[in-house]
Amino acid sequence: MSPFSRFLRRLMYGSLIVLGALIVWKFFLSGGDEYAEVPTEVMMRYVPSDFNLELDEAEVLEILSNPMRNKKEFNQLVYRFNTSLLLHVARRLGMDASLQDEIIAEYEKHHPYLRRLFWEDFIQMKDTASTIYKSWYENEATGAVQALYEVASKYTCPLISMIIGGLLPDYQGKIYIQDGQTPCGVALTEGLKPMIDRLKERAAIEDFNRAKGLLRERVEKTIAELATVEVRDRKGISRSLQTRLWGFNISTTDLEISAISIAKVGFRLDRYFDISLNEKSRLVVVTLPEPEILSHEVYPKVDRLDIGWLREVENVDFNKNIELLRSEFRRELQNSDAFSKAKQEAVQLMHTMLEPMIKS
């Protein structure tokens, strides 16, 4: 080996030693010194405490399944849920009753806009127009609980940091907790997740019962709708279902499903519809509700089904994938410009229908 090669090797080894020393100092030695310097009066420690939130699961599922009809109850649920999480974290941190009262008082200042954020995000994710479809595919209540979980997960950490973080003692601008887990982590793992798991268990039962009892008899009802946009789309999904033994794949079933979607967007006139006429200015004002999905038909087709020798395809495999396609159709439709087009078409239609009457 040449002297130059030996020099390069020594230089590389030396660099690795220096880098390792820096890593050890940064992540082990400096962290230990930092905590060692923290005064004991500002070092927080968790104390045992159980998350207590008495919920009537059936009542909560009714609220989540019909949020439009239960908006007041939904707001109350958000209040109870958020305050319970805050108080649980406070009790785990050993905060006394006076500080817990401060937490509730501080939260009440933020509740008006928080309940609005919860409501708007939940309604957007829930897609209340698809209730009957979700009931048929046995995931209406489960989907509502999942929507609540995603919305709550979005706001829980900022809520904990904003309200409880301001009441904790700090040292040089930092909050130190000996046990390592953050207050946000406590709220999510000890409060949010167990509550959602309880609701999901009950939701699975509710979904099964609703699907079995859905449309046992023919139902007829009057409707008043104005559909102005029709959206057609096509999608497909491919799945490989494997059977494993001791970690090895011994049988594979390939499933491909495609579907076409036909959706109509427009206005439910039975919710709100008003026409006012100003004879002097010869002006007609037509007021309609916000556009929504009036109907959505999905026609699935199995394009490929290769069943492995050791696996049977169950109904749940088909239903789950068909529902996945249907949900994706609706998600894209909700994020498209179909609703703005529906408004534009409604304006044109009103002009076509009413303008001759005004001029006559």
Q: Can you give the C-alpha Rg of the chain in angstroms?
A: 29
Q: Which residue has the higher pLDDT, 224 or 208?
A: 224
Query: CA–CA separation, 133 vs 128, rounded Å?
Result: 10
The predicted-structure confidence for 308-339, as pLDDT tens digits, reads as follows: 655 555 555 667 777 888 888 888 998 899 99
Q: Which residues contact 263 (CB under 8 A, 6 or more apart)?
A: 230, 231, 232, 233, 293, 295, 296, 297, 329, 330, 333, 338
Count the neighbouring beta carbons within 10 Å of the beta carbon of residue 65: 23
Q: Which residue has the higher pLDDT, 259 or 9?
A: 259
Strand, helix or coil for residue 188: helix
The predicted-structure confidence for 49-68, as pLDDT tens digits, reads as follows: 888 888 888 899 889 888 88
For the chain, domain boundaries: 11-35, 45-213, 225-359
- pTM greater than 0.85: no
The bridge status of strand 274-278 relative to strand 283-287 is antiparallel
